[in-house]
């Protein structure tokens, strides 16, 4: 299904690592330099022409930075807060307070987990209702004390399990959408990997919505879309193209405000470079939003989301 596009790169990388086992050999060192140059050129060529499905694979890469990575790199004095004060804590969503550029902020974000143990603990980054209620609790505290909110979105979607439904998954998401729309503090949203459906949108109503170059944002996963439309999840590649899930598509539709460039090979290839690229954008946006009167900020946020989905210049009334 086109998810092996990095195979040539992996083969070159393996050969370079093999040559590194012979330090001091001029011939092998020269060959390694040549291969590194070839690897860089091939990676640049491949990543300049990724299909929507290939971008989906990059967005899901196991080594891609997650919320805690961004918080650790961009913020200091992070204090995580737990629990929704109703049911319990949800490790799939990380929330708390920190300092960004010596300014107090609130941070929220999905956390998928790296190894099997972490993935199970974090529920693969799929929050339950208590996660969204925890996030809203922290965001409401942030608004009360005048702290801007930084949100990091990376989830396949909200958890669809029976226990989540019993505790009001849809209501928790809907409530977050309403409340975030009117929180009196600047909100900057960053889609860093997968922006999956309401599970993403529940922490993604903001004054600025940024999207990493190789991330995706959609109402459903390509596999889920293919399974519904064609009863064949194997047509996910076709679905990804039809759904317009990539950053350029969504920027063109006015659904995201800024595309954050990624280093060559994606955020997972050079996390430090990715942190620096996002840092520059966040700093400028936070400075801009902080200078806007609160009434104007809230009006702009409302109008921003009201405009979404308007495909033409006129609406046709139903008969």
pLDDT at 195: 94
Task: Report pLDDT for 140.
Answer: 98
What does the pLDDT read at residue 318? 47
Residue 32: both structure tokens together: 């390694």
Cα gap 144→235, rounded to integer Å: 47
Strands 103-110 and 93-100: antiparallel
- Report the DSSP beta bridge partners of residue 195: 155, 217
The answer for residues whose C-beta is within 8 angstroms of residue 304's C-beta and 6 or more apart is 207
Class of the domain covering 56-307? alpha beta
- What is residue 315's predicted lDDT score, i.e. its pLDDT? 45
Integer Cα distance of 13 and 81 in angstroms: 41
Residue 144 and residue 183 in contact, taking contact as beta carbons nearer than 8 Å: no
pLDDT score at 3: 54
> CA 286 to CA 87: how far, in whole Å?
33
What does the alpha-carbon distance between residue 202 and residue 32 come to, in Å, rounded to a whole number?
Answer: 48
Q: Which residue has the higher pLDDT, 177 or 45?
A: 177
Predicted confidence at residue 309, as pLDDT, reads 75
pLDDT classification of 310: cutoffs 50, 70, 90: low
Alpha carbon 15 to its chain's center: 33
- Banded pLDDT at 247 (limits 50, 70, 90): very high
Taking CA atoms, 206 is separated from 61, 70, 313, in Å, by: 26, 18, 24
Contacts of 140 (CB under 8 A, 6+ apart): 179, 183
- Give span(s): CATH 3.90.226.10, the chain: 56-307
Alpha-carbon gap, residue 257 to 310, rounded angstroms: 16
- Over range 222-239, report the average pLDDT: 93
In residues, how long is the chain?
319
Tell me the CA distances in angstroms from 15 to 30, 40, 44, 134, one per residue in order.
13, 14, 19, 48
Weakest-pLDDT range from 20-34, 105-119, 177-191: 20-34
> What pLDDT score was predicted for residue 46?
84
Measure the CA–CA gap between 127 and 24, rounded to whole angstroms.
52
pLDDT of residue 16: 81
Tell me, what's the pLDDT at 144?
A: 97
User: How many Cβ atoms sit within 10 Å of the Cβ of residue 51?
Assistant: 14
Which residues have a Cβ under 8 Å from the Cβ of 319 and sit 6 or more positions away? none
Confidence (pLDDT) at 2: 42
């Amino acid at each position: 299904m086109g998810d092996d596009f990095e195979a040539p790169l992996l083969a070159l990388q393996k050969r370079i690592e093999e040559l590194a086992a012979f330090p001091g050999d001029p011939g092998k060192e020269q060959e390694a330099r040549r291969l590194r140059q070839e690897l860089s050129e091939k990676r640049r060529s491949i990543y300049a022409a990724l299909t929507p499905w290939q971008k989906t694979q990059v967005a899901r890469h196991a080594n891609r930075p997650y919320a805690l990575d961004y918080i650790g790199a961009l913020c200091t004095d992070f204090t995580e807060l737990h629990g929704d004060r109703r049911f319990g804590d949800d490790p799939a969503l990380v929330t708390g307070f920190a300092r960004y550029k010596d300014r107090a902020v609130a941070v929220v974000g999905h956390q998928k987990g790296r190894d099997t143990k972490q993935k199970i603990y974090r529920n693969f980054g799929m929050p339950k209702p208590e996660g969204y209620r925890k996030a809203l609790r922290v965001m409401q505290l942030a608004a009360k004390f005048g702290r801007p909110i930084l949100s990091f979105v990376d989830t396949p979607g909200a958890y669809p399990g029976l226990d989540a439904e019993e505790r009001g998954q849809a209501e928790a998401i809907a409530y977050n959408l309403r409340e975030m729309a009117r929180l009196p503090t600047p909100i900057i949203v960053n889609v860093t990997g997968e922006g999956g459906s309401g599970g993403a949108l529940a922490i993604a109503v903001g004054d600025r919505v940024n999207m990493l170059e190789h991330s995706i944002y959609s109402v459903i996963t390509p596999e889920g879309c293919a399974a519904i439309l064609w009863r064949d999840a194997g047509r996910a590649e076709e679905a990804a193209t039809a759904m317009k899930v990539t950053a350029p598509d969504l920027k063109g539709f006015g659904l995201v405000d800024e595309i954050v460039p990624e280093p060559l090979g994606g955020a997972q290839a050079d996390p430090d470079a990715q942190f620096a690229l996002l840092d520059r954008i966040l700093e400028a946006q936070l400075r801009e939003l902080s200078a806007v009167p609160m009434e104007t900020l809230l009006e702009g946020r409302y109008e921003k989301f009201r405009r979404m989905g308007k495909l033409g210049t006129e609406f046709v009334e139903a008969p």
